[in-house]
Amino acid sequence: MAFSTQDSDEVLSEINVTPLVDVMLVLLVVFIVTAPLLTNSIPINLPKTDSVAPVEQKDPLVVSNDGGGKFFINKDEVQPDLLESNLEAAKAKNPDVRVQLQADDGVGYGKVAGAMASIEKAGITKLSVITKR
């Protein structure tokens, strides 16, 4: 918008920022008022208790299958037909045993599935399959 003055023929071309400032101040007030209402929290006074030591986590059993078809439990070689009985013995010692299964990239799916079946038959329910990123 251009304005001309009475005294001269020069055109005055400036933007009137007053309405812009008014709108921005109204928006700022609206955000300041509504921001505390957006937090969805329920005020609760939690009870105080004595601290408890964390549960000791034992290292998991690592069942490995190398490329040659050999099975290992924690670096000890195990015959494939004795894998299930060794896992049952580990389950008897610790009912909450965790097993990590890792197999070489060249090992066929059948061998890995057989190891998983042996772990399941031994009654172990906590199984992790280890892969590389």
Using 50, 70 and 90 to split pLDDT, how confident is the model at 128? confident
Query: For residue 125, what are the domain limits?
Result: 61-129
Number of domains in the chain: 2
Instruction: Please report how many Cα atoms fall inside a 13 Å half-sphere around the Cα of residue 97, on the Cβ side.
Output: 21
Q: Is the pLDDT of residue 44 over 70?
A: no
Are 67 and 125 in a shared domain?
A: yes
Are 66 and 19 in a shared domain?
A: no
Q: What is the CATH number of the domain that holds 97?
A: 3.30.420.270
Cα 33 from Cα 25, distance rounded (Å): 12
Using 50, 70 and 90 to split pLDDT, how confident is the model at 11? confident
With respect to residue 124, please indicate whether it lies within any of the assigned structural domains.
Answer: yes
Predicted TM-score (pTM) of the model is: 0.55
Cα 120 from Cα 127, distance rounded (Å): 9
Are 66 and 16 in a shared domain?
A: no
pLDDT for position 48: 72
With respect to residue 118, please indicate whether it lies within any of the assigned structural domains.
Answer: yes
Cα 102 from Cα 90, distance rounded (Å): 18
With respect to residue 26, please indicate whether it lies within any of the assigned structural domains.
Answer: yes
Are 70 and 25 in a shared domain?
A: no
Using 50, 70 and 90 to split pLDDT, how confident is the model at 14? confident
Block residue for tokens 């078809």: 69
> For the residues 96-116, what does the mean pLDDT come to?
88
Using 50, 70 and 90 to split pLDDT, how confident is the model at 24? very high
* Percentage with pLDDT > 70 across the chain: 80
119, 121, 127, 132 alpha-carbon torsion, rounded to 10°: 40
Are 65 and 121 in a shared domain?
A: yes
Around Cβ 133, how many Cβ atoms within 10 Å? 2
- Strongest mean pLDDT among 6-20, 41-55, 110-124: 110-124
